[in-house]
Amino acid sequence: MKNDELVCPICGESTSVYMGNARKDRLCRKHALMAKAGQIVLCPDCGKWHDADKPCDCKKETNKTSWNHSEEFIKLNEGNESCLVCGENTQQGKLQCKSCYYETIDFMNGLNKNSQTSEFRDYYYNLKDAIYRMQDFDKIKSNCNKLIAIAYQNSESNNDNLLISLLKKDVKKIIEVKKPKESNDLNIDIATTERDEQRESIYPTIDGHRVKSQMEVVIDNALWNATIMHAYEQPIKEFIYERKKCDWFIPITGPKKGIYIEYWGMNTEKYLRSRKEKEDLYSKYNVPYVSVEKDAPKDSSFINTLIQDLQRKSFEFFGFMPEWKK
């Protein structure tokens, strides 16, 4: 390959090179990280990269022809005449109206069809939790269509129907809980609305993680810059009978032995109860973790302190102190 061809097909920047070998897909470092994180995928039809959450441009017109292929949806909605998501009339007892079904097809075309069952299930459960934090009802309905897309793509890719068996009950409950209540009260709490919108935001980090706040960006980037291997929002393996996730996991002696980081970013009564429950579990199972408080400074001294705390925990629990950058 000629040097003048070693450019990223997305942005035109230089292709990422490792130990003298250029990436075969010619992606630059930034887009290589995005591909690794599943943020962008290669279209198998036209060979172009596109956002994983959206269909490729080559599919936008052809998606609309898929409505007649939705017979598998009928069984889930037999006897009903309204769309599970938006309530509009459907045809032949289908699960969704045409508009919602087309959006689901768009989402399916944007999913990585090679993902494993565990990846689809994690995506489904995490998205379902995120939907309950959303306030915009149109956004909620759209993400319910994405839940359906994940369930059916998992079934198609892995022959696993667990999510399909859950989705009707899950979506129905979401719509019932989140549907706006009729009210004549015009005194909207703008500050609360802004906080809710901020909570729904997704912030990108250097290594491609998508986190939930500016402070989490600072922490994640600090770990990257210090060459500390880390995973974002991972299940806490030591909590054998509890389905809990940490904010970050730092492997020390292997993929299952390391230090957890928790950023306590809220002060609501419900959040504080959840925090205490998780802290009690860390104590009960004697699991090493580092706490970062909501009002922690976003400066170099904070980053140095965070790395020092991780080193101390490593020495305390594993008998040695990693040489990370500061």
Rounded CA gap, 226 and 183, in Å?
Answer: 52
Rounded CA gap, 295 and 39, in Å?
Answer: 30
Angle between helices 98-110 and 137-158 (to 10 degrees): 60
Residues in CB range of 99: below 8 A, 6 or more apart: 86, 88
Which pair of tokens denotes residue 294? 């909501």
Rounded CA gap, 187 and 168, in Å?
Answer: 35
If asked whether residues 33 and 51 sit together in one domain, one would say: no
Rounded CA gap, 312 and 316, in Å?
Answer: 6
| E strand or H helix at 251 | strand 248-254
Residue 276 in domain = yes
If asked whether residues 6 and 110 sit together in one domain, one would say: no
- What is the total count of domains within the chain? 3
Residue 60 in domain = yes
Rounded CA gap, 198 and 55, in Å?
Answer: 26
If asked whether residues 32 and 70 sit together in one domain, one would say: no
Residue 194 in domain = no
Residue 183 in domain = no
If asked whether residues 109 and 26 sit together in one domain, one would say: no
**pLDDT value of position 173:** 92
Residue 134 in domain = yes
**pLDDT value of position 35:** 82
* Domain final position from 178, 213, 246: 178
If asked whether residues 33 and 71 sit together in one domain, one would say: no
Per the structure, the complete domain to which residue 243 belongs is given by 201-318
**pLDDT value of position 68:** 38
Tracing tokens 């980037």 back to the chain, one arrives at 221
Rounded CA gap, 12 and 119, in Å?
Answer: 31
Rounded CA gap, 227 and 299, in Å?
Answer: 18
Q: Give, as one character, the DSSP assignment of residue 15.
A: P
If asked whether residues 62 and 101 sit together in one domain, one would say: yes
If asked whether residues 89 and 137 sit together in one domain, one would say: yes
Pair 305, 240: CB distance under 8 Å: no
Task: Say how many residues make up the chain.
Answer: 326
The candidate with the shortest Cα–Cα distance to 288, out of 264, 324, 326, 262, is 262
If asked whether residues 245 and 171 sit together in one domain, one would say: no
Rounded CA gap, 94 and 83, in Å?
Answer: 7
Which pair of tokens denotes residue 67? 């409505």
Strand partners, 259: 250
If asked whether residues 72 and 105 sit together in one domain, one would say: yes
Residue 189 in domain = no
Tens place of pLDDT for every residue, the chain, 326 residues?
445 578 988 888 888 887 778 888 888 988 888 888 778 888 766 778 888 766 677 654 444 334 333 444 444 555 566 888 988 877 656 788 888 888 888 888 888 888 888 888 888 988 888 888 888 888 899 999 999 999 999 988 898 888 988 888 999 999 999 888 765 444 444 444 445 444 445 788 888 888 888 899 999 999 999 999 999 998 888 886 777 889 999 999 877 789 999 999 888 888 899 899 999 999 988 999 999 998 888 888 888 999 999 999 999 999 988 877 66
Rounded CA gap, 41 and 110, in Å?
Answer: 8
Helices (H) and strands (E) in the chain, counts: 9, 10
**pLDDT value of position 189:** 46
**pLDDT value of position 79:** 53
If asked whether residues 58 and 149 sit together in one domain, one would say: yes
Rounded CA gap, 311 and 111, in Å?
Answer: 38
Residue 186 in domain = no
Residue 184 in domain = no
CATH number (domain holding residue 209)? 3.40.960.10
If asked whether residues 156 and 241 sit together in one domain, one would say: no
If asked whether residues 57 and 146 sit together in one domain, one would say: yes
CA distances from 136 to 147, 175, 200 (A): 17, 12, 10
Pair 12, 24: CB distance under 8 Å: no
The tally of CA atoms less than 13 A away on the side-chain side of residue 128 is 21
